Homo-oligomer: A and B are copies of this chain.
Amino acid sequence: MDLDLSPYSVHTDLALEAKELASSRHGDTIPGVHTETAEDDDMVITKMHIENEQGSRAVGKLIGNYITLEVPRLREKDSDLQDKVATRLAQEFSTFLQRIGITKEAKVLIIGLGNYNVTPDALGPLVVENVMVTRHFFELMPDQVSPGYRQVSAVAPGVLGTTGIETSEIVQGIVERSKPDLVIAIDALASRALERVNTTIQIADTGIHPGSGVGNKRKGLTREFLGVPVIAIGVPTVVYASTIVNSTMDMMIDHFKQQTSNTSQIFGLLDGMNESERLQLVKEVLDPVGHNLLVTPKDIDQFIEDMANIIASGLNAALHDAIDQDNVAAYTH
């Protein structure tokens, strides 16, 4: 995760939010972008396919498949809901793997990006800590591995600031030695909205690209660089100060629209600007004084660990047939 100050950045790592922003400019239907949504009482699941360059440019995200699970009540510490989300994540992830052609025998390397010692950045290392690894059993005692398991390994490589080495280079070295067929990269993301922090999970088959707002990986964790497909699983754990400011202005304008038809009297030109223009303005003010800090809810410590467990449980069930997708919690501590 790192600061992305590129001029036209929409300041979100979530394809869903990028599409919402694009829709506010282009209208609901964006050529080259296909979305479908399913929801129940607890969660909304959105599948988005960015089919071509046109869609990619409109949304500002790469061509590929994105799944987003939004679970507004996920911070309420309800362990039944957490189990339900892990189970659903397992099912969606499993289907996702099939759709992009990953077989049940494919060997998997899970990479936990981020810094263990910075709470909102610790998601990746915590998933690595909790996920079930099996590769060494296949290597050391292949005849004793039960059917229904595949080879899974997991590494938390650290961040550039503490290792001095580009994360993508470390991962490349590990991929070359351990020869997985698929890399799954877990990372903390930045969202536009505090309410999405620790309530949303995004799966994408686009890899992780430098400048996509997920940080310090100039060379990217991508199929091109690593030679194997890369699936990214991300959870927003921070928001930029500029997006909080901007979305508050939105709410203020909406608020007064209910009271007067002439909001421009109150908000002046701010009222007429579209969201991107205003965000750009906010950033112009905040960046030079170093105020566009990433911010995080104060009680985040309590949620990161729960979220890491949900993802670890979901991955365990999705990756191993022998693990029951209807009862994922029993296999993770």
User: Interface residues, chain A, CB within 8 Å of chain B?
Assistant: 1, 77, 79-80, 116-121, 128-129, 133-136, 139, 151-158, 160-166, 169-170, 172-178, 194-195, 238, 241-242, 244-245, 248-249, 251-252, 255, 263-271, 281-282, 284-286, 289-291, 293-302, 306, 329-333
Contact = CB atoms under 8 A, between A and B. Distances in A.
A151 B299 CA distance: 26
Nearest to A291: B194
* Most chain B beta carbons < 10 A, residue from A128, A160, A248, A286: A248
Closest 8 CB pairs of A and B: A173-B173, A133-B164, A135-B164, A153-B164, A268-B268, A295-B295, A173-B177, A294-B298
B255 A265 contact: no
Q: Copy number of this protein in the oligomer?
A: 4
A290 to B, nearest CB: 8
A173 B294 CA distance: 33
B285 A248 contact: yes
26 contacts: A79-B330, A79-B331, A116-B116, A118-B298, A121-B298, A128-B158, A133-B164, A136-B161, A169-B178, A170-B173, A173-B173, A194-B241, A194-B291, A244-B244, A244-B245, A244-B295, A245-B248, A248-B286, A255-B284, A264-B268, A265-B269, A266-B270, A267-B270, A268-B271, A295-B296, A306-B333
B158 A251 contact: no
Contact of A298 (B245, B264, B286, B295): B295
A331 B82 CA distance: 12
Given A117-B129, A294-B298, A282 B252 contact: yes
Contacts of A174: 165, 170, 173-174
Nearest to A238: B298
Contacts of A116: 116
A167 B177 CA distance: 11
A25 B120 CA distance: 38
A129 B175 CA distance: 24
Contacts of A255: 284-285
* Most chain B beta carbons < 10 A, residue from A128, A136, A242: A136
